[in-house]
Amino acid sequence: MSARYCVIGNPIAHSKSPQIHAAFAAQTGHDLVYERCLAPLDAFDATVRGLIAQGYCGANVTVPFKLEAAALATRLAPRARAAGAVNTLVFADGEIVGDNTDGAGLVADIVRNAGVSLADKRILLLGAGGAARGALLPLLEQGPRQIVIANRTLATAERLAAGFPAHGGRLAVCGFHGLEGGFDVVVNATSASLAADLPPVPATVFGPGALALDMMYGERPTVFMDFAVRHGARARDGLGMLVEQAAEAFLLWRGVRPDTAALLASLRQA
Ligand code: NDP
């Protein structure tokens, strides 16, 4: 019987994950099915327990359940604990293991796909919500010179930075208007793009040859991407991050990391 996986969310109809994992399964020759699972807003735990009872091997978790997934897990990977959020569950040996592959996916897209090393770089992380929390530890592990977290609500950014005391010397927190100097990499992890909004950052944040990555993706470049390009940066959307976080989840479940280049190219064309 095929191994069964799914992505749990609400809403979930828009998810590209079934298409991505079907392509990975075909590429690696793994026999699996991957479906969408719409969980009622008040029944995430019951939905997961139902999947386990049906013999599912694992699941991805998306909006709005990533925090509930972290609370439900019987064991957390260090990067999931650091993020306080889970996007990948592994059901094995009676345990519900929670992991977070979003940050690793972001780093893989920047380093491998965009060809930008993060070592000794100055990084600006816009936003301090779930996506930013997932990104911070994997970004720090790349050895940047400095990461500045800028958020609309300063206290949220301060709380996020306070969770990483060992990295205090390389972490700074700021409001959007207080940003000074240019950065090598600017990551928009706010949800402003969903409303075609732009975080009010000065155009000077884009240093010479900067990479600007918006975690959002869609048919058109986001307002943030347009803004970045107008001010000399190279812009990238979140589609590569999406595919790379899926490849990391596939690795956790199946022990092999699929090649992502061909799939990413075909998704972009589509
Ligand atoms: P959250 O709701 O957890 O956090 C939202 C963040 O955006 C907060 O920091 C919030 O600031 C800030 N924000 C919201 N609106 C505005 C605005 N108008 N101007 C400035 N800042 C704003 O969302 P997530 O962290 O889960 O998601 C963030 C983005 O990342 C979304 O676009 C999502 O689609 C994308 N994403 C992409 C993934 C991928 O694989 N490509 C994976 C995960 C997320 P405040 O604290 O002040 O409220």
Domain locations in the chain?
3-100, 103-240
Range 246-270 average pLDDT: 96
CATH class of 3-100: alpha beta
Asked whether the beta carbons of 111 and 141 are under 8 A apart, the reply is no
Short-list 180, 201, 62, CA closest to 126: 201
C-alpha of 270 from chain center: 22
Average pLDDT over every residue of 231-252: 98
Say how far apart CA 246 and CA 82 lie, in whole Å. Answer: 19
Residues with CB under 6 A from ligand 1: 102, 127-132, 151-153, 156, 189-194, 197, 199, 215-217, 238, 241-242, 245
* pLDDT higher than 90, residue 1: no
**Confidence label for 84 from pLDDT (cuts 50, 70 and 90):** very high
> Do 143 and 111 meet the contact criterion of CB atoms below 8 Å apart?
no
Pocket test for ligand 1, best of 191, 213, 264 (most atoms within 8 A of CB): 191
Q: Of ligand 1's atoms, which has the minimum distance to the CA of residue 239?
A: 41
Atom of ligand 1 nearest to the CA of 216: 32
What pLDDT score was predicted for residue 211?
98
**Ligand 1 center from residue 106 Cα (angstroms):** 14
Cα dihedral sign, 132-138-140-144: negative
Residue 115: the pLDDT is 98
Task: Report DSSP state, residue 205.
Answer: G
pLDDT for 142 equals 98
CA of 210 to the centre of ligand 1 (A): 21
The pLDDT assigned to 112 comes to 97
Instruction: Check whether 99 has a pLDDT greater than 90.
Output: yes
Please name every residue paired with 58 in a beta bridge, in sequence order, or none if there are none: 5, 90
Q: In angstroms, what is the span from residue 124 Cα to ligand 1's centroid?
A: 15
33 three-class SS: strand
Ligand 1 atom closest to residue 152's alpha carbon, by position in its atom list: 47
Q: Tell me what the mean pLDDT of segment 144-168 comes to.
A: 95
* Class (C level, CATH) for 103-240: alpha beta
pTM of the model: 0.96
Cβ pair 217, 242 in contact under 8 A = yes
How is residue 72 written in tokens? 């439900």
Residue type, 43: A
Residue bearing the CA closest to ligand 1, atom 7: 190
Question: Contact at 8 Å (CB) between 137 and 82?
Answer: yes
Catalytic residues: 66
| Pairwise CA distance, residues 139 & 57, whole Å | 29
pLDDT at 117 over 90: yes
Stretch (H or E) spanning 120: none
- Segment 202-214 shows an average pLDDT of 97
Which DSSP symbol is given to 113? I
Mean pLDDT of 187-210: 96
Average pLDDT over residues 31-44: 98
Confidence of residue 270 (pLDDT cuts 50, 70, 90): confident
User: Quick one: pLDDT at residue 168?
Assistant: 82
Distance 176 CA to ligand 1 centre (A): 15
Alpha carbon of 205 to ligand 1 centroid (Å): 19
Q: By the 8 A CB rule, do 123 and 144 touch? A: yes
What span, in angstroms and rounded, lies between the C-alpha atoms of 60 and 2? 17
132-141 pLDDT, tens digit each: 999 999 999 9
pLDDT mean over 160-189:
94
Are 3-100 and 103-240 the same fold in CATH? yes
The structure tokens listed for 215 are 């975690």
Mean pLDDT of 99-105: 98
| Average pLDDT taken over every residue of the chain | 97
Instruction: Pull the structure tokens for residue 96.
Output: 């519900």
Residues of the chain by 3-state class (helix, strand, coil), percent to 5: 45, 25, 35
Measured CA to CA, the distance from residue 98 to residue 78 in angstroms comes to 10
Q: Determine the 3-state secondary structure of 3 from DSSP.
A: strand
Query: Tokens 């779930």 label which residue?
Result: 130
Q: Is the peptide bond before 11 cis (omega within 30 degrees of 0)?
A: yes
Contact 85, 133 (CB under 8 A): yes
89 neighbors 73 (Cβ within 8 angstroms): yes
Q: Average the pLDDT over 68-79 and give the result.
A: 97
Joined together, the tokens standing for residue 153 give 């609500």
Mean pLDDT across the stretch 244-263?
A: 98
